[in-house]
Chain A
């Protein structure tokens, strides 16, 4: 229920590249009408952020509950990232203006953390207003499916404080 008492926390993501205020709380279920490739039947996800795992974000399926993806703000690890969202995808997501949606990149965690990669060719786009999401495929741009992120994240240790996350929603689980 979206009553005044359960007002969403404002979650701020990524001081690098851009600043997004994301209203997310335990009842923020995002609908993925097409699922995501290989998991086409999984239609609902929560985005969970924990202080101990920032700047990573967990994209957690409602069903099956043990299905979860690690995500990261792609702009954090790939400066100049500028994927084009097709008209078909914008229409699917009911996006009318760029501020309506944000992007996450799915992370493939490797045993050797230095080889951990994220998928820049197919970011997760979510419409914050409509709570709709889709993994969009930027087919004609040469963004890698496996972009190593360790070096970019290491470099940021010397920069300003890491991503600011307020109102973490660990309680969602």
Chain B
């Protein structure tokens, strides 16, 4: 990992079109400002990690489980009140 030391109001540039600026430091919190092309998304890492984890858990081939759930809900080809179609 590249390590750079920056002061408040200083920046780093990533590639030629992404800038990260230190806007302020208060206690153990740092405010960062990002300038990046419009289509670049920027997330807090713990949020991205949580979405990754949920996607891994959701991935699979759940056709049978879904069919059985839909039957219990009375959807699909059955009747809404649970009586046989």
Query: Interface code B65-82, partner A: CB below 8 Å = 1, 0 otherwise?
Result: 111111011111100110
Contact B69 A116 (CB under 8 A): yes
Residues from 17 to 76 in B contacting A, C-beta threshold 8 Å: 38-44, 47-48, 50-63, 65-70, 72-76
* Contact for A109 among B41, B69, B76, CB less than 8 A: B69
Q: For residue A147, give the distance in angstroms from its CB to the closest CB of chain B.
A: 11
In the bound complex, do residue B54 and residue A53 qualify as a contact, i.e. CB atoms below 8 Å apart?
no
Report the separation of the CA atoms of residues A115 and B51 in the bound assembly, to the nearest whole angstrom.
18
Is the pair B56, A68 in contact by a Cβ cutoff of 8 Å? no
Name 20 interchain pairs, CB-CB below 8 A, sorted by A: A39-B55, A52-B77, A53-B66, A53-B76, A54-B75, A56-B66, A68-B62, A69-B58, A70-B58, A70-B62, A89-B41, A108-B54, A109-B62, A113-B65, A113-B69, A113-B72, A121-B47, A145-B50, A157-B73, A162-B80
CB contacts under 8 Å to B, within A47-71, are: 51-56, 58, 66-70
The count of chain B contact residues (Cβ–Cβ below 8 Å) is 37
Contact with B along A130-163 (1 / 0, CB 8 A): 0000011101000001100010011001100110
For the complex, is A106 an interface residue (Cβ under 8 Å from B)? Answer: yes
The interface residues of chain B, by DSSP majority, are classed as helix
**B residues engaging A (CB < 8 A)?**
38-44, 47-48, 50-63, 65-70, 72-77, 80-81
Give Cα distance in the complex from A129 to B51, angstroms: 26
Which chain B residues border A70 with CB–CB below 8 Å? 58, 62, 66
Question: Across the interface, do B40 and A113 meet the contact criterion of CB distance under 8 Å?
Answer: no
**CB-CB < 8 A to A69: which residues of B?**
55, 58-59
